[in-house]
Every structure is written in structure tokens, then in C-alpha cells.
Structure 1
Amino acid sequence: MKLLPVLSALLLFLCQPNGMASTIIRTAAQEASEPKFITINQQGKPAIGGICVDIMRALEKVDPDLKFVGDQTWQPRVRIDVGMKAGNIDAFCGAQRIERNTSQYHFLDTVLFTVSYLLAVRADDDIDIQNWDDIRQLGNKGVILALHGFGIVDILEKIGGLKIDSGATSSLSNLNKLMAGRGRFYCHRSPGIRLSIQQAGLENKVRLLARPQLSEKFYMGLSKTLPADQTKRINNALLSLENSGELRRIFEKYQE
């Protein structure tokens, strides 16, 4: 067999869609973000699943050239932001359009999912709260616990006049602080907060308030240096998932 025809055939193969190298999109699994990312058992081994992992696998099915890597590695939110700035992370699934995020991410328009933020209190606390002003008037007796580096901290700060403690990096830590009286409220998203309470074994010791609530949309955040053609591929694939109803079906799987 002559070399030239072989090379020509190989070059032709590489120019076809099935012969092209995958478009690698680097990401990470955000710690303490259930159910965006959760620990699961896969073929007898621990793995990472959740809403965002399901979305990324669905994107890969829509556009087989896309390959998301890093979603099986846990990272705290702060480190993900550092990785994005350093050019080591291309995509962050489930970002809110707050100023801190819009300054560093390029947001795609498709809404991945919408959540409600709820307030948890100790079950023996008979406080009746109607709005944020009621909490504001509590002063130091109305400390709200939140997770370090999470968007809800920015949102609560923007409301103004609230006492916020965002030192903890996990729901378990904040629930323990709540039980110890080191905060009056714990603000976290639903779905997510009920599962955290259950996993902490505090179903009978913590209750959720009906008011006030916050509703927030979550999006796909991309690095501003990601090539335009890759951004377009992800955007088109997301639109396909939205139009088919797959995004809604994925989110509904994780409703509490």
C-alpha cells in the first residue's frame, strides 16, 4: 500500500465529524451545592451526579463533539472562581446573574433551573417572620447563616441591613451552628435544604419558614476567553435541551 493514499485517507477521516477530536470543556463539581452536584454510587464506586452532571451528559448527547471534564472532581466555590480567572476552568454550571459573577463569566441566556431560597430555624423557635424587614429589626438576634462564597450571600447583602454569617462551607456546619444558637436562621436553596436537614438527622429539630422566600434563576457560566465557536456549540445544545423539555425533566428528578 502506497503511503500517499493512506495519508490522504487519514486526513479525509480527520476532517469528518466522527473523526474530529472532542471539544474539551473543563469544569468542576461545586462542593456543598446539592442537588446541583451530589455524591452517588455508580457500579459500586463513589461518583458525582446531580442536576449539573445530568445536564452536561445531556449536552454531550445533543452534540457528541462536546466533552465536559472535571465534573468528577470536587472543588469549593472559591477555588472554582480562581480557576476561572486563571484560565483552568471553562464552564461553571448553575451560576446566578449577580455582579460578582457577571464580572467574570459569560452567561448563556437559557435558564437551567429556578430555585427558592428558604429560611430554616430551630423547631423550638416560635418566631413568626413575614418579611425581611422583620428580620432586619431583630438586629444581632437575627443573624442569618449562609454558605461562604455562594451567591445567596451577595443577594442578602444587597437587601441591606441584615446580619449575615457566611463563614461555613457546608450545610452541616451551618445546621450545627443553628442548633448551637450561633445564628437564628439558615438561608439555603430548595431543592437542597430539606435533603441537608435530613442528612444531618435534624428533621424534628429544624423547621422551614413559609416567609420570606427568594426566587433565583441559575445559568451556565462560561469563561470569557472560551472560543466563540465552542460557546455557540454549548448555547445551541442548551437551546435544544430547553426546547425538548429535557432541562425541565432533569430538574424535576431532584425535586424534594
Structure 2
Amino acid sequence: MPCFCPHRLFLLSGILLSFHTYAAPLRTAYYESPPTAYIQGRQITGVCPDLLQAISKLEPQLQFRGQKQMTSLIAVDTRLQNGSYDVACGLARTPQRESYSHFQGKLFTIEHKVLVRQDDNINISSLAELASLSAQSPVIVRRGSVFASWLKQHGVTVDDSSDSNEINLRKLALGRGRFYYSADYHLKHQRDQHHYQSQTRILPAAFYSQPVFLVTAKTLAASQRQQLDNAFEELQRNGTLERIRRKYGIYEN
């Protein structure tokens, strides 16, 4: 005969409560885009890893799975869209991303800039000039990036055959393109990391400015999005987000 055992009911209710209190970790992964996330030694570092760690420390119910994984930007977008990722970090807003994502909190603002070789005395200040020159020398840009779509919208011929930052930088240095278009912080970090400071220079003109965000999939529960919002706002309020930015050389006005 089945036994009615109050202590077993108590144990079961405790287990159910723990499942309710501690939700499954939010699925994520990083794509290489300094200073948001990049590999240093054998570790993934950057604004985004530090931010997610700070969120988990502040709000223990918000844990993340996949923080030791680096993947491609295209894969991040695809998995946000199909719901196999819950969170992504360091993405700019686009109409396509808005169809499957929520933009939770602004990390910082990037400026679109151009990198050229040091021995090239070119100086341009408009997308119209870049579009004209790109007919003879397509602009190197990362495949799947917001920069690629932005340039195409403005009539610029691009070479977006690679989603590797290092390969794209090497293309420029080897003369397989005249211009490399990306974010200001990204270009500076890439030059420093791969020791191209003496071989390349960043042109002074900023062609566009836009923020990058912490992003969630629309498939994520509204209650969890609200928890993320609350944690992000607290990190802004208590100065943690600003300290993370400055650690990686980012200074917002």
C-alpha cells in the first residue's frame, strides 16, 4: 500500500521550489570583435565576458552557459533567430535583428572608420568618396557584419569574403585591398594585437556612429528579460559598467 509520508512531500516541494527559483542557464556564445570579446592567451576576455560575469554576481538567478565558446557572427545571428541562443552581447541594431531580438541595454557607441596602409597617402571623409574608389578596390569588411550591409546600402563595393578579423587585416597589409572598414575600437585593437601599428593607419573621418547592445532572443521569457534589464540598470547605476568600459579603453561622453 502506498505510504503517505509528509517528509517526502516536503522534499518534493523543496525540489520544485529550487527549479522555480534557479532557472536554467541562459544560452550564449561570443563572436570575436575586440573589445567586446576576443581571445587573449587561452582565455576569452573583453567587455561582454566581464559584463555577463557581473550580471551573474549581482543576480545569481541569471547564469549563462556557453561563455567559454567563440563562434562566428553569422552563427550568433542564426541561433538568436532560431531560439537556440537566449542572449548575445555586442550587437548593433539592424532591421533584420529587430525581427527576432530585443535590445536590452547599450554597452557603448562605435564609430565606423577606415584603416589603410601607412604608405597610402589617401584621405577621404565621405561615403560617396569611398563608394567611388571602391569600384577599383573593393572595401574589405567582415562577412555578416553591420558594416557590410551599411556599405552596400550606400553603393560601396565590398569584399566580404571572410568573417575572420585577422584574415581581413592581413589582406590589407598584403595589398589585397586598399581599405578595411570596421569600428574604431576594433581597428585599434586589431592593429595593436597583431603588431600592424607601423604598417597601417586609421583615417580620421567617422562615417557613422551607432550603439552596440546586450541582446536577447524574442523566444526568451519576458520575466527573464526583465531580470536582465534590472541587473543591467543596477550595473549602470553603481558604476560597474563604466569600470568595465574603461578597463578596455572605452570612454563614453
Q: Name the TM-score, length of structure 1 as normaliser.
A: 0.88
Q: Does structure 1 residue 38 correspond to structure 2 residue 38?
A: yes
Letter in 2 for 1:209: L
Q: Which residue of 2 aligns with 1:147?
A: 142
Q: Does structure 1 residue 67 correspond to structure 2 residue 69?
A: no
Q: Which residue of 1 aligns with 2:181?
A: 187
Q: Which residue of 2 aligns with 1:131?
A: 126
Q: Which residue of 1 aligns with 2:222?
A: 228
Distance (whole Å) between structure 1 residues aligned to residue 81 and residue 125 of structure 2:
40
For structure 2, the residue ranges without an aligned partner over 5 or more in a row are: none
Q: Does structure 1 residue 27 correspond to structure 2 residue 28?
A: yes
Q: Which residue of 2 aligns with 1:209?
A: 203
Letter in 2 for 1:226: L
8 Å CA contact 1:113–1:248 kept in 2: the answer is no
Distance (whole Å) between structure 1 residues aligned to residue 207 and residue 134 of structure 2:
19
Letter in 2 for 1:61: K
> For residues 140 and 180 of structure 1, do their structure 2 counterparts lie closer, same or farther at Cα, with a shift above 3 Å needed?
farther
SS in 2 for 1:219: strand
RMSD value, Cα:
2.2
Please point out which of 212, 231, 236 is paired with 1:242.
Answer: 236
8 Å CA contact 1:113–1:247 kept in 2: the answer is no
Percent identity at matched positions? 28
Give structure 1 regions of 4+ aligned residues with deviation exceeding 3 angstroms: 12-17
Q: Name the TM-score, length of structure 2 as normaliser.
A: 0.89
For structure 1, the residue ranges without an aligned partner over 5 or more in a row are: none
Distance (whole Å) between structure 1 residues aligned to residue 50 and residue 16 of structure 2:
29
Query: How many pairs are equivalent?
Result: 247
SS in 1 for 2:77: helix
8 Å CA contact 1:136–1:142 kept in 2: the answer is no
Matches within 5 A, 1:85-100: 85-100=81-96
Which deviations, in whole Å up to 9, do the C-alpha atoms of 1:143-200 show, x marking residues without a partner?
Answer: 2111111111122223x12111111222221122112322211012132212212232
